[in-house]
């Protein structure tokens, strides 16, 4: 499979400017070159461009930059659906997490057309399960999972093409949930592997349980990796740091297991804010994690069976 890198300089999902520099930082950190060195065919499609804005409004006056986020949703959905249809593995270089409103929408359109179920792995400190009406901050990067799961209250948005049932959604790294998100999540059967679960069980057993379901269903798998999944001590370049995140090895192990599963069909890299980075260390760590996701191993002769 060829890899298509899609630059998505989305900065409309929150008020802490800087995520628009994410795609440039991934290029400076040599994401394409590192994937090429692993033996992949890589095409960098350049950055998506925001279309002319609508005058959309929301009854919740807190909601910020709705027309911009709607525009990005549309172009991302089209781009991801087109790359998947061409047989490519799209990697979206964000951009804040609002971009997942569009990227997962594109993946869902493609999966529905291909007659395959779409699964979602959400690697994040946050559940991002607000709707435009429930959000307190008004930052739409806190809403994509609710949209994807088919919650209502997205009246300004196009209807989500094929909502993903909760049983096909799995979250890892959760340690910040707002009260309205918590109440709504109780009505969904989403596997929420919060940091307590990872402390007690590690990443292997919960991830294996989820990947077994994807494989058994011949599913497609979209992975959405938020920088704040990682502990802020190793990944400072994000506007919404939360202490107690995934360690370096926990994160790499998740990526290595995903690679060995062979199941991932699309990937978001979100919330990198290069303005907050320290000599590029967060961008470099994200590029290294993508390397593990796409096949880099410490020692290639060791055969591990992960099923």
Active-site residue list:
97, 124, 126, 128, 141, 226, 228, 271
Residues with Cβ within 8 Å of 138's Cβ and at least 6 positions away in sequence, in order, are 60, 62, 63, 64
SS (H, E, C) 223-243: EEEEHHHECCCCCCCCCCCCC
CB contact at 8 A, 8 and 70: no
Nearest to 118 by CA among 78, 190, 191, 167: 167
Instruction: Single out the residue of 22, 90, 239, 245 in contact with Mn ion (rule: CB under 5 A).
Output: 239
With binding defined as CB under 5 A, does residue 70 bind Mn ion? no
Smallest gap from Cβ 276 to Mn ion, in A, equals 9
**CA pair distance 146, 154, nearest whole angstrom:** 9
With binding defined as CB under 5 A, does residue 181 bind Mn ion? no
Smallest gap from Cβ 61 to ligand ARG, in A, equals 15
Q: Which of residues 118-177 bind Mn ion (CB under 5 A)?
A: 124-126, 128
Identity of the residue, 27 or 141, whose beta carbon is nearer to ligand ARG in the bound complex: 141
Identity of the residue, 129 or 210, whose beta carbon is nearer to ligand ARG in the bound complex: 129
**CA pair distance 67, 261, nearest whole angstrom:** 38
Identity of the residue, 42 or 63, whose beta carbon is nearer to Mn ion in the bound complex: 63
Instruction: Single out the residue of 44, 83, 226, 268 in contact with Mn ion (rule: CB under 5 A).
Output: 226
CB atoms within 10 A of CB 257: 18
CB atoms within 10 A of CB 201: 13
Would you give the binding string for Mn ion spanning residues 271-300, x where CB under 5 A is met? x-x---------------------------
Smallest gap from Cβ 242 to ligand ARG, in A, equals 9
CB contact at 8 A, 295 and 36: no
Smallest gap from Cβ 273 to Mn ion, in A, equals 5
Q: If contact means CB under 5 to 8 A according to the sort of partner, which of ligand ARG, Mn ion, none does residue 175 touch?
A: none
Identity of the residue, 135 or 292, whose beta carbon is nearer to ligand ARG in the bound complex: 135
**CA pair distance 258, 235, nearest whole angstrom:** 21
- Sites of contact with ligand ARG (CB under 6 A): 97, 126, 128, 130, 135, 137, 139, 141-142, 178, 226, 228, 240, 271
- Position of minimal CB gap to ligand ARG: 142
Helix 248-261, helix 281-293: angle, nearest 10: 30
Instruction: Single out the residue of 44, 83, 96, 181 in contact with Mn ion (rule: CB under 5 A).
Output: 96
Q: What is the DSSP letter of 137?
A: S
């Amino acid at each position: 499979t060829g890899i298509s890198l899609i630059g998505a300089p989305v900065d409309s999902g929150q008020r802490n400017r800087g995520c628009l520099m994410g795609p440039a930082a991934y290029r400076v950190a040599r994401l394409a070159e590192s994937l090429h060195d692993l033996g992949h065919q890589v095409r960098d499609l350049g950055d998506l461009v925001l279309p002319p804005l609508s005058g959309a409004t929301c009854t919740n006056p807190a909601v910020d930059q709705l027309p911009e986020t709607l525009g990005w949703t549309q172009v991302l959905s089209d781009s991801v659906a087109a790359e998947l249809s061409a047989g490519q593995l799209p990697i979206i270089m964000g951009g804040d997490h609002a971009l997942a409103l569009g990227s997962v929408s594109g993946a869902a359109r493609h999966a529905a057309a291909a007659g395959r179920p779409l699964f979602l792995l959400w690697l994040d400190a946050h559940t991002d399960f607000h709707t435009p009406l429930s959000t307190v901050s008004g930052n739409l990067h806190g809403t994509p999972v609710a949209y994807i799961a088919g919650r209502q209250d997205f009246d300004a948005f196009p209807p989500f093409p094929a909502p993903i049932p909760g049983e096909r959604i799995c979250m890892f790294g959760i340690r910040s949930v707002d009260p309205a998100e918590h109440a709504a999540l109780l009505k969904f059967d989403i596997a929420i592997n919060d940091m307590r679960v990872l402390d007690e069980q590690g990443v292997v057993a919960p991830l294996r349980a989820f990947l077994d379901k994807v494989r058994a269903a011949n599913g497609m798998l979209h992975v959405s990796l938020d920088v704040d999944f990682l502990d802020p001590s190793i990944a400072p370049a994000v506007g919404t740091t939360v202490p107690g995140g995934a360690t370096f090895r926990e994160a790499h192990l998740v990526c290595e297991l995903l690679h060995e599963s062979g199941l991932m069909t699309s990937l978001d890299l979100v919330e990198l804010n290069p303005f907050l980075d320290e000599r590029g260390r967060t961008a470099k760590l994200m590029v290294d994690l993508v390397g593990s996701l796409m096949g880099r191993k410490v020692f290639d002769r060791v055969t591990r069976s992960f099923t």
